[in-house]
Structure formats: C-alpha cells, structure tokens
Amino acid sequence: MLGVGISPHRGRLPPWGDRALRGWHNARGDSARRMGETAGFMPKRLVEIPLVPVVGAVPAPAAAFASEGLRRSASVDCFDFIPSKYDVLYAVLSALRRGRLCEWGSGIGINIGLAQILGFDAFGIEIDARLAAASRGLLADFGLSAEVETGSYFDAHRDAEVYFNYCWPSQMRRVEEHFLSVAPSHAKLLICHGASDIRCKVVAFE
C-alpha cells in the first residue's frame, strides 16, 4: 500500500504528480503489454497511490449547489442512498488533472455537478430512477450540463480518466474488479472507505 486516506497539504501536488504518474504508468503499461502479448495474457492489479488534496473552503456558489442538493435528497425515498461528503471530494478533485469523470452511483448529482464546476467533463450513472430524475432537475436548475444515465454501473459503461464510487463495504471488491475489467489502463479509481476517506487506486501490470 503506497498511501492511505487524505493528507491535508495545502495546494501541493503529490511528490510524483500527475505527469510523473502518467510516465510511470505508460512505461509499466508498455512493458507489461509487450510481455502480455508474448505470453498471451496481461496480469494486472490495483495499487493505491497518495492523494494530496487542495485544502480550503468550498467556494460559495459550489457550496450553495451542494447544500441545495442535500436538501432535495431528503425528499427522495431511497433507503440505501447515503451522500458522500462533498467538501472532501471537492478538495480531492481540485488537485487532479481535469478530464472525463464518471461517478458510479451518482445519487442526487452533487458530485458530478461539483466536478463540472471544477472543469471536468462529468457524467453519472444512477440505478434509482427517482434519484436520477431529481439529479437532472438539480443540475439544470443551476445551469449545469453534466449527464446522468439511469441504470446499473455494472451494466452501463463510459470511458473516463477518473471514476468515483461510494458503495457499501460489501460491494467494494466487486467495484474494484469491475474497474479492472472495464476502465482504461490510465484511469484512476476514487473509492470511499467511509464518507471522509477517499482513496485513489490505479492499475499496475505485473
């Protein structure tokens, strides 16, 4: 394990930031690909890498959007919906290179809305039709265009550079296996080990 949880360092990139990670990843990926092509298989696993979020208050417009989302979510009858801590995710996303972000289980749409505010091309997949509909209304009311697809993220798929998921602990292994099977080799998985503990995992070729 290379890192756990979140380190509260203001505005600092990881010691081997996004560009270094991509270089490491590409080098390992190219080598593993050549070996895999020769042997007929490409064994891979997930490894955890450090997260160094940008610490600071969530800007007022983004906080107002998130607060309204939490207010609306209370009126949606979905027994297993537990929102993540939007301020924690905002700090993490603020430190990452912008790109496409897919939330597996996007709930009321707060996280993909914040991701779009930060400059990501964000979209979500939500299995509960009531939450999906409510999230589209929330996003539209705040002038945001992040898309929400109704369905199971184990069935629906979109390529992204970053995937975010806050699932029940009993589902974590399945989520990680799904990421290994469908995500691009350069993608990151942000997965919650509790509402305030977001960890980042990437594919490593053996």
For residue range 125-146, list pLDDT tens digits in order: 999 999 999 999 999 999 999 9
Does the global pTM surpass 0.75? yes
Continuous segment of H or E residues that includes residue 173: helix 172-182
Per-residue model confidence (pLDDT) at position 108 = 95
Per-residue model confidence (pLDDT) at position 23 = 53
> How much of the chain, in percent, has pLDDT values that exceed 70?
79
Poorest-pLDDT segment among 23-32, 124-133, 165-174, 197-206? 23-32
**How many beta carbons lie within 10 A of that of residue 99, not counting itself?**
16
Q: Residue 71 has which token pair?
A: 């207010």
The two beta strands, 44-49 and 198-205, are antiparallel
Cβ-Cβ contacts under 8 Å for 43 (sequence gap 6 or more): 36, 205, 206
Q: How confident is the model over 49-83, as pLDDT tens digits? A: 999 999 899 999 999 999 999 999 998 888 677 88
Per-residue model confidence (pLDDT) at position 82 = 80
**pLDDT mean over 152-161:** 96
Contact (CB, 8 A) for 143 and 82? no
Q: How confident is the model over 104-122, as pLDDT tens digits? A: 999 999 999 999 999 999 9
Write down all domains in the chain, each with its CATH number in brackets. 53-200 (3.40.50.150)
**pLDDT mean over 152-159:** 95
Per-residue model confidence (pLDDT) at position 78 = 80
Cβ-Cβ contacts under 8 Å for 109 (sequence gap 6 or more): 69, 124, 134, 135, 136, 138, 139, 146, 148
Contact (CB, 8 A) for 183 and 75? no
Q: Is the pLDDT of residue 162 over 60?
A: yes
> Around 16, how many Cα atoms within 13 Å sit in the side-chain half-sphere?
10
Angle at 199 between CA 129 and CA 131, to 5 degrees: 10
Place of tokens 């589209």: 136
